[in-house]
């Protein structure tokens, strides 16, 4: 990790620890105030607890032009991004994505779509629906490794993070507490429960919290759709295609709508936000990832709507290209944030339990 980013975040954290004006703002400050000195692992943990709600920045009396020049949300955002890049496996891809995210996403989606279009003949022997374009076996052969390998990469990365922040043996209470906070997006409501200042500067808003919830639950519904369809195919001997009122379709449609709307709203919020209170280097990569995730949802909905028309083969190639790009890039994009964030919440729950 970059020592200068850690050192600057440590300097600001020490000033905040002495001031304590923002003690009730969010989950970061109780954890920050529990320490008298900060190791590199402590700073990394605080950075991954931070949701960049920015309330502390707009309330702070020591921001520029004060000589302390505090901007703790930006300092922690830079450490957070650097930690993801440093712990990622392989590391080079993570650093490339943050600087060239848009180009990488566009190239992979178009490239994979062209590949899927070119191998259309693989599934042309007797399949129904989408399988008439690409066979079930071909889809499994392509997407099973594309799911398992990124998952392995994330597990390696989070294990490195866990060691860095001094994580100990996990208890069920630590995990359940962390999942509860994540499910409610509790920290985006900030300590006072009025919301955060991400898009409204010194005005509080729950907009970012609701958008995060739409994206998270939209993604989980889409994942549930795929999981249920897999069980129906292999366990219940009920292969696709499925009717509109089946669980795979209901989960997929509702998830796709939430994902698409949530990603559009998130891009709008990011465009309105003050970039200097976050990590400017990661802005392009963040936008590219949100756009990719939203396009996965939108192209899936388009496929549902036009699946019975002559456009279906083209739409399927584009959608599968977007999905494959998403899977392969997951360990190197903002999607990895969810795993690091959950690990940080579990570690914070441990801290509280062990300090009682």
Output 228-236 pairs: Cβ under 8 A, ≥24 positions apart: 233/136
What pLDDT score does 2 carry?
87
What pLDDT score does 115 carry?
80
What pLDDT score does 239 carry?
85
235-253 in b/e form (b: 16+ CB < 10 A) is: eeeeebebeeebebbbbbb
What pLDDT score does 128 carry?
67
Q: pLDDT (tens digit, 9 = 90+) per residue, 296-308?
A: 999 999 999 998 8
> What is the C-alpha separation between 208 and 51, in angstroms, rounded?
10
What pLDDT score does 228 carry?
96
Contacts of 356 (CB under 8 A, 6+ apart): none
For residue 211, give the nearest of 252, 262, 176 by alpha carbon. 262
> What is the C-alpha separation between 321 and 117, in angstroms, rounded?
10
Beta bridge partners of 132: none
> What is the C-alpha separation between 299 and 238, in angstroms, rounded?
25
CB 78 within 8 A of CB 5: yes
For residue 161, give the nearest of 341, 300, 18, 330 by alpha carbon. 341
Tokens at 122, concatenated: 């693989």
What value does the mean pLDDT of the chain take? 89
User: How big is the chain, counted in residues?
Assistant: 356
Tokens at 58, concatenated: 């707009």
Other CB atoms within a 10 A radius of the CB of residue 312 amount to 17
What pLDDT score does 301 carry?
96
What pLDDT score does 25 carry?
77
Which residues in the chain show pLDDT less than 50? 123
What pLDDT score does 297 carry?
96
Residue 323, class by beta-carbon neighbours within 10 Å (0-12 exposed, 13-18 middle, 19+ buried)?
A: buried
Residue 196 DSSP one-character state: B
Q: pLDDT (tens digit, 9 = 90+) per residue, 125-177?
A: 556 677 777 777 788 888 999 999 999 999 999 999 999 999 988 999 999 99
> What is the C-alpha separation between 33 and 352, in angstroms, rounded?
12
> What is the C-alpha separation between 328 and 66, in angstroms, rounded?
44
13 φ/ψ angles, rounded to the nearest 5 degrees: -65, -35
For residue 50, give the nearest of 10, 87, 85, 79 by alpha carbon. 79
What pLDDT score does 307 carry?
84
What pLDDT score does 124 carry?
53
> What is the C-alpha separation between 145 and 98, in angstroms, rounded?
24
185: left (phi over 0), alpha (psi -120 to 50) or beta: left
- pTM comes to 0.89
> What is the C-alpha separation between 120 and 125, in angstroms, rounded?
11
């Amino acid at each position: 990790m970059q020592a200068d980013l850690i050192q600057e975040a440590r300097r600001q954290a020490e000033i905040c620890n002495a001031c304590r004006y923002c003690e009730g703002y969010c989950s970061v400050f109780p954890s920050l105030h529990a320490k008298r000195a900060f190791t590199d692992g402590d700073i990394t943990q605080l950075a991954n607890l931070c949701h960049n709600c920015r309330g502390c920045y707009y309330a702070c009396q020591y921001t520029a032009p004060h000589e302390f020049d505090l901007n703790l949300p930006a300092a922690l955002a830079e450490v957070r991004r650097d930690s993801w890049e440093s712990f990622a496996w392989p590391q080079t891809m993570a650093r490339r994505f943050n600087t060239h995210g848009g180009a990488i996403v566009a190239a992979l989606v178009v490239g994979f779509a062209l590949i899927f279009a070119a191998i259309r003949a693989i599934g042309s022997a007797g399949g129904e629906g989408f399988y008439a374009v690409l066979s079930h076996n071909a889809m499994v052969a392509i997407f099973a490794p594309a799911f398992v390998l990124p998952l392995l990469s994330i597990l390696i990365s989070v294990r490195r993070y866990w060691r860095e922040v001094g994580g100990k043996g996990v208890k069920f209470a630590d995990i359940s507490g962390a999942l509860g906070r994540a499910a409610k997006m509790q920290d985006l409501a900030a300590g006072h429960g009025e919301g955060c200042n991400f898009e409204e500067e010194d005005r509080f808003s729950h907009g970012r919290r609701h958008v995060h919830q739409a994206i998270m639950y939209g993604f989980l519904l889409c994942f549930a759709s795929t999981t249920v369809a897999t069980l129906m195919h292999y366990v219940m001997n009920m292969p696709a295609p499925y009717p509109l009122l089946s669980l795979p379709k209901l989960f997929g449609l509702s998830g796709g709508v939430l994902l698409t709307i949530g990603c559009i709203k998130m891009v709008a919020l990011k465009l309105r936000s003050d970039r200097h209170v976050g990590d400017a280097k990661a802005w392009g990569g963040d936008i590219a990832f949100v756009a990719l995730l939203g396009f996965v949802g939108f192209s899936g909905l388009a496929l549902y709507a036009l699946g019975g028309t002559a456009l279906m083969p083209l739409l399927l190639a584009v959608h599968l290209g977007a999905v494959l790009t998403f899977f392969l890039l997951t360990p190197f994009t903002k999607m990895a944030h969810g795993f690091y964030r959950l690990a940080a919440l579990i570690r914070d729950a441990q801290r509280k339990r062990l300090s009682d």
